[in-house]
Every structure is written in structure tokens, then in C-alpha cells.
Structure 1
């Protein structure tokens, strides 16, 4: 069952509409809204829809314009459409990385698996994380060990060296100034950082002792 309290009803209505569009039949939900709907840890407002299947972005754009009169396009390239529908940020992106597990369908919504979203979140933080990414990682540490999470990343991105990932996970300077998400589990930014730092310390200790 999805944790619907984490997403505005109007955004859920939009998500359901998007899931019914034939042109989006191969797209699935990823990102923070995927995690919030599954884990219920924070409010999420964006819709990130990915597909493994190459698509004609002009055809998709035409279908979206026909269906949603208030569509605002921010970026339109052969593999991506970024914009807003009903003031909700919505991204449609070709994602050509291996899926670790099959797409899940819950309440008629197609969702990437938790291992897949874990790998995406770690990748996002390695590039330049914002607070919501770290909050998601902290929540995911209640469901997976850091070792498991790094394995998901390595499997998806065929990476072997995770040293830069470990450094990124405890580098909070850029994220300190970004907007915090609304927690539904009474967490705060300091507790999130401490939880991640502890997980990294424990992981490094286990690796050096092994």
C-alpha cells in the first residue's frame, strides 16, 4: 500500500493520469516521490518518470500538450522533457542504465524498485546532493546496510571504486544551504547527517578490519 499522505492529492491525481497515457506506458516513477510513497518518511512534490525504451520526444510532447493545457516546458531534447503540469515539476527522461529489479506496480502506479532508486540517489549525491537526497539516504539506512546500498550502485553503474561516493556521502557543505524537506518522522538535518556519518564510519571500519 502506498503512503499517500506524503504527496498532495492533486499531484497523485496527476500521476495517475500520466500513468494512463498510452505514450507513457513504458515510463515508471523514480526519485524522492517513489521513496516517499513507499516509505512514508517525508513529503515529496516532484514527479520523475523514467523509461528504458527510446522514445520520440516530439510525439510525447504533442500528446502532453493535447492532454494538459497548462503544460510549461523548461527543456526539450531527444531524450528528455522537463517541465511543469498544474504547477507540479514533471520530468520525462530516457534512462539507459540496467534495472536491478523488475518494475513494481502498486495501486496502478509503476515504480522502480528500492535497490534501483538507492543507486540513483547515491549517484545524485556523488554529483552534488541537496538536502532531500541525504534525507532519503538516511531513511534508506533503516532498510539496507550501507554495504548493500553501495553494491546496488556498483551493479547499476558498473563501478568498482566507491571512495568518491563515501566522501560525497559525508560532504554536506553544498546541501547545508538547500531547502530541507518536510519530515513526517520528526527527523532533523543534524540527525540525518549524524546517521549517515555513523554509517560511513562503520562501513570503513568493517572494510579495514576485513
Structure 2
């Protein structure tokens, strides 16, 4: 990312998160900037240098492919919660910023399975309270209460979305269980997701009742 053309852009999304916590395979490049850019000039530069194949273009937005890899360039004019990270010359958003963006995506459009999986895996390095704090810092006009509701609502998820994990195959019941745990215990940091032990229905009910103050 030392190219002058991309000097204002940084990597976000699942690929940036995977590079940091190593949970799933993601090769899509989501490149965000906090400033406006000339999409026509950018398109010309990307086509010349990288054989960029355009799929979609609008103001401050380019979506396409480079050598079969999906690449999105988007202006996302919201403040950084934490400074950008730099790994081997790759500028990328912090886990706090990625968590905020993931929560924003879930509360706005809860169809992407990978967003729920990413939040579940982030719970081993951040508490939900920390994620929500990051969300509030980044999107000050949004309602954080909607985030909690969205994390518990799974009817719109596209379960046909292909997901490839670095540690075997994901199990939705483990992801769903973890999402339930973090909403019940928002200040707690949890073990790695693959260390989860399946709860019985009775145990899960007891856990939820305790979290709501309904059992002794």
C-alpha cells in the first residue's frame, strides 16, 4: 500500500481482522478512506496499474476485481477510534474500529453471516462493552441499543454464504451461543470460540435466567 494512488486508504473488514486474530480465511480487499476521492481518476489509475475490472462505480465508491480478488474502495467519513496499524507496509484499521464497523453492518443489515462470526471471534480479545463503546465513538448519532437487539436477531442471515475458517469448520450453534453469552455478559472477555463446550438447552435457559436476574 505504498502506492501514492492509495496513500489515503487503509484495509478494513474481514481480511484486516483475519490478519490480526487469524480466525478465518478472507482475501477480499475492503479499502476505506476518510476523505473524498475522484472516482474517475482513481479508476483510470487502477486500470492502468493493476488491470482493475470495474463492477460498480458511484461518487467516492469503486467496486471491482484485481486478478480475481474482490476490491472495494470507499469513502467512509467517520473518525478512527484507535490509530491505524501498520504491518509489513499494510495500513489497517484497529480491532476497535473493525468491531464498530461490524456492529454497524449488523444493526443496519443483518444478513451477512461473516459479520456475526467476526464479532463472536472478537469476543476473545474484546468485551462487548468495549465493542459498543467503539461503535458509539465512531457513529455518535446511532443508537447502541439497536446493536444488542441486532446481535440476537438471526432470521435474516444468509446461511448459504461460504465461510472458510482457519481452524476447521465453524458451527453455527457455537457462534449463536457465543453471541448470546456476550449480550448476557457484556463486560466479560471469553475463551477462543473453538474451546466452547456445547450447552444443553436446560443449561442455556438457566444461564439466561441468571443473566436476567430471574433465578437464584
* TM norm structure 2: 0.82
- Cα distance in 2 for partners of 1:127, 1:160 equals 10
Paired position in structure 1 for 2:97: 116
Q: Is the 8 A contact 2:12 2:30 kept in 1?
A: yes
- Cα distance in 2 for partners of 1:106, 1:63 equals 25
Structure 2 stretches lacking a partner, 5+ long = 188-207
Q: Is the 8 A contact 2:184 2:211 kept in 1?
A: no
Larger helix percent: 1
Deviation of 1:83 after TM superposition, in Å, equals: 0.8
Structure 1 stretches lacking a partner, 5+ long = 1-18
Paired position in structure 2 for 1:13: none
Q: Is the 8 A contact 2:47 2:53 kept in 1?
A: no
Superposition CA RMSD, Å: 2.1
- Cα distance in 1 for partners of 2:26, 2:114 equals 9
Paired position in structure 2 for 1:141: 123
Q: Between Structure 1 and Structure 2, whose CA radius of gyration is higher?
A: 2
* TM norm structure 1: 0.84
Which stretches of structure 1, 4 residues or more, deviate above 4 A after TM superposition? 204-209
Paired position in structure 2 for 1:68: 50
SS of 1:76's equivalent? strand
- Cα distance in 1 for partners of 2:175, 2:97 equals 21
How far does the alpha carbon of each residue in 1:21-64 deviate from its partner, in whole angstroms, 9 at most, with x for none?
A: 21111100000000001110001121000011221111111101
Paired position in structure 2 for 1:131: 113
Residues 147-186 of structure 1 correspond to what in structure 2 (within 5 A)? 147-159=129-141, 161-186=143-168
- Cα distance in 2 for partners of 1:124, 1:170 equals 14
Q: For this pair of structures, how many residues does the alignment match?
A: 190
SS of 1:190's equivalent? helix
Paired position in structure 2 for 1:86: 67
Q: Is the 8 A contact 1:52 1:96 kept in 2?
A: yes
